[in-house]
């Protein structure tokens, strides 16, 4: 059940129990059951903030999985994940490096059927001082032009190898 996976990844057994104090026990049990009974027909990337740390999850075929550093879903997930692994992407990477790596992974994944070119990039962060909502910064068109320029400089290139000579084999 997804709620159990979430609770074992980001909560201790006791903190999950204390979460139920906010609701009457029967309402908490009923709500938890209703959540776990949902059957989602879409692949999703979910982000949650547990205490002071963000947690990243995928929901694929109704299975929720914690993702320690990055998540990719859909027909281009294998390609995008390969790029992120190759670039050694980790959750504590500096934002400029992370944005470029994610841009590159998404661009390369566009060769997969069903992956479109239209993408929005949003950087999520902790709430601003005195607020409770997660902060968000959208990458501007100027930012996207910068990422595209970097991709032209740093991204993969077509192979142009010389012919193999007789002594190659």
Segment 105-119, tens digit of pLDDT: 999 999 999 999 999
Question: What percent of the chain is predicted at pLDDT more than 70?
Answer: 85
pLDDT, residue 78, reads 96
pLDDT, residue 10, reads 38
Query: How many residues comprise the chain?
Result: 169
Residue 95 exposure: Cα atoms within 13 Å on the Cβ side = 9
Measure the CA–CA gap between 93 and 86, rounded to whole angstroms.
Answer: 14
Low-confidence spans in the chain with pLDDT less than 70: 1-23, 40
Maximum distance among all Cα pairs of the chain, rounded to whole angstroms: 80
Tokens of 147: 């990422």
Measure the CA–CA gap between 80 and 72, rounded to whole angstroms.
Answer: 7
The pTM of the full predicted model, rounded to 2 decimals, is 0.70
């Amino acid at each position: 059940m997804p709620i159990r996976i979430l609770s074992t990844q980001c909560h201790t057994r006791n903190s999950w129990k204390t979460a139920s104090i906010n609701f009457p026990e029967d309402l908490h049990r009923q709500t938890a059951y209703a959540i776990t009974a949902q059957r989602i027909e879409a692949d999703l990337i979910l982000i949650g903030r547990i205490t002071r740390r963000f947690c990243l999850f995928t929901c694929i075929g109704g299975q929720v999985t914690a993702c320690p550093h990055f998540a990719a879903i859909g027909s281009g997930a294998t390609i995008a994940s390969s790029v992120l692994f190759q670039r050694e992407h980790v959750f504590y990477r500096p934002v400029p490096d992370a944005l470029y790596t994610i841009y590159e992974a998404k661009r390369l994944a566009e060769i997969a059927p069903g992956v479109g070119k239209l993408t929005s990039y949003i950087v999520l962060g902790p709430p601003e001082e005195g607020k409770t909502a997660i902060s968000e910064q959208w990458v501007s068109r100027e930012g996207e032009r910068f990422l595209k320029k970097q991709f032209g400089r740093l991204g993969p290139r077509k192979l142009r190898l010389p012919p193999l000579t007789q002594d190659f084999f």
